[in-house]
Structure 1
């Protein structure tokens, strides 16, 4: 039976009204975790602000466990 381990990473959106993620920084995070064997499963926002913007997103990763 295949076993998985999971990792969640919070990414803060920047700016006065929120909703702006540093794409280069996020790409770097994705590449770094990918080199460690983590696969991106899902990304979602957690803090809906006025006008539908968000101050934080969460990325969920998984990789084969032992």
Structure 2
């Protein structure tokens, strides 16, 4: 049976009312983890007000 470990990253949004994600920085972090064998399994946002995103949460897994 395969065993996995998990890693969760939080990315803050910017902008006056939130919702803006620095895509270059986001991609850089995803690519760094990919090079270390992590696979992205889920990505979602958390709301603050009127549907604006406060945080983007990315969940990764890799075999151990």
Fold conserved between structures, TM > 0.5? yes
Query: Structure 1 CA distance, aligned partners of 2:34 and 2:51?
Result: 30
The equivalent of 1:23 in structure 2 is 23
TM-score normalized by the length of structure 1: 0.91
In the TM superposition, residue 33 of structure 1 has moved relative to its aligned partner by 0.3
In the TM superposition, residue 39 of structure 1 has moved relative to its aligned partner by 0.2
Query: Structure 2 CA distance, aligned partners of 1:18 and 1:38?
Result: 28
TM-score normalized by the length of structure 2: 0.94
Query: Structure 1 CA distance, aligned partners of 2:23 and 2:63?
Result: 27
The number of residues matched between the two structures is 64
- Point out 4+ residue stretches in structure 1 off by more than 4 angstroms: none
Structure 1 position 49 matched with structure 2 position 48:
yes
In the TM superposition, residue 57 of structure 1 has moved relative to its aligned partner by 1.1
**Runs of 5+ unmatched residues, structure 2:** none
**Runs of 5+ unmatched residues, structure 1:** none
Query: Structure 2 CA distance, aligned partners of 1:29 and 1:13?
Result: 15
Note the aligned Cα RMSD (angstroms).
Answer: 0.8
